Amino acid sequence: MAEYHILLAREYGFCFGVKRAIKLAEETIRSGIKIASLGPIIHNPLEVERLKNMGLRVIGGIEELGPDESLLIRSHGIPLDLLNEIKRKNINIIDATCPLVARAQHMVEFLFSEGYKIIIIGEDGHPEVKGLVSYGGGNISVVSSPEAIPDITPNDKLGIVGQTTYPVDKFVEIVKEITGRGWEIRVFNTLCDASRKRQGAVKELADQTDVIIVIGGKNSANTRRLVDIAESEGVDVYHIETWNELRSNWFLNKEKIGVTAGASTPEWVIENVLEKIKELCSQ
């Protein structure tokens, strides 16, 4: 049997904010505190199921909270009025709001206090955006296309904040449309670069390997993007959702095997894939 090496991409899988939220949930459960999460903690049914089995309840509103339960705020954050209601009801909070989201909320609050007309570049109705909007005191627009930009008069001072997961190219395009209008635009770059870093890392990985396994949902946009990038680098690429799909002939005469994963792929799924690759290569 030939020698082989498995290399993991420098950045892959869950973003920092989601990892942190899951860790907070697990630690809280282990410490014996009962918790319920307001909405699913991540858009991955397998991972939500795993946490439910550990003891995490998922609720749709705070009225469903049991008298002895603490409330987990997921990484997206929640609107200010809801937060105030929770505090008024003296509910114990486990706050897993992503620090990057919390910072974006803070910047909206700051721009509001400084009298800026606020524009949030993001998807209207997205849970994170609902939270951001709530810090803007009402005079605020959510813009996801140049057509949605509100009227701007020559003396306007505009404060701009982005939804953390918004694609940078779309963000730049909308800022461009606003530039040169109004008197001042003040743009805070609240975008998270997790996706961009994952994409850079798979490119780097392709330079060092002969074959790349990309783990993630077949209809996950960010996972497909990783596949496309790896393919354009000229290595063999296989896109799988679970370890059952791995085939031993993919690794024949391959010395360096790369592994990466899309944003909704839990760590334990990735670990199972790594184990299975080792098994197939050792046969």
Catalytic residues: 128
Q: How far is the CB of 283 from a second copy (least distance, A)?
A: 46
Q: How many CB atoms lie within 10 A of CB 153?
A: 9
Torsion angle (degrees, nearest 10) of CA 115, 117, 120, 126: 90
> Which range binds a second copy by CB under 8 A, 39-47, 55-63, 79-87, 185-193?
185-193
Give the helix ranges, DSSP H, for the chain. 16-30, 45-54, 80-88, 99-113, 127-134, 168-178, 194-208, 221-232, 267-282
Q: How far is the CB of 154 from a second copy (least distance, A)?
A: 8
> Which range binds a second copy by CB under 8 A, 6-14, 179-187, 219-227, 243-251?
179-187
Work out whether 171 is an interface residue with a second copy (CB under 8 A).
yes
Work out whether 168 is an interface residue with a second copy (CB under 8 A).
yes
Work out whether 191 is an interface residue with a second copy (CB under 8 A).
yes
Provide the CA 75 distance to its chain's centre, in angstroms.
8
> Which three-class secondary structure state does DSSP give residue 65?
coil
Q: Is 264 exposed, middle or buried (0-12, 13-18, 19+ CB in 10 A)?
A: buried
In the complex with a second copy, the residue whose CB is nearer, 181 or 254, is 181
C-alpha–C-alpha distance, residues 117 and 158, integer Å:
5
Contact call for residues 111 and 159 (beta carbons, < 8 A) = yes
Among 50, 186, 224, 254, binds a second copy (CB under 8 A): 186
> Which range binds a second copy by CB under 8 A, 35-43, 127-135, 187-195, 222-230?
187-195
Q: How far is the CB of 192 from a second copy (least distance, A)?
A: 12
Work out whether 106 is an interface residue with a second copy (CB under 8 A).
no
Among 50, 52, 130, 181, binds a second copy (CB under 8 A): 181
Q: How far is the CB of 46 from a second copy (least distance, A)?
A: 34
In the complex with a second copy, the residue whose CB is nearer, 150 or 182, is 182
In the complex with a second copy, the residue whose CB is nearer, 57 or 186, is 186
Q: What is the DSSP letter of 6?
A: E
Among 185, 214, 237, 273, binds a second copy (CB under 8 A): 185
Q: Is 87 exposed, middle or buried (0-12, 13-18, 19+ CB in 10 A)?
A: exposed
**Buried b / exposed e along 244-257 (16+ C-beta atoms within 10 A):** eebeeebbeebeeb
* 73-135-28 Cα angle (round to 5): 15
In the complex with a second copy, the residue whose CB is nearer, 64 or 173, is 173
Q: How far is the CB of 165 from a second copy (least distance, A)?
A: 14
> Which range binds a second copy by CB under 8 A, 4-12, 59-67, 71-79, 177-185?
177-185
Q: How many Cα atoms sit within 13 Å of 217 on the Cβ side?
A: 12
Among 96, 175, 211, 212, binds a second copy (CB under 8 A): 175
Residues that bind a second copy (rule: CB under 8 A) add up to a total of 17
Contact residues for a second copy, defined by CB under 8 A: 168, 171-172, 175-176, 179-189, 191
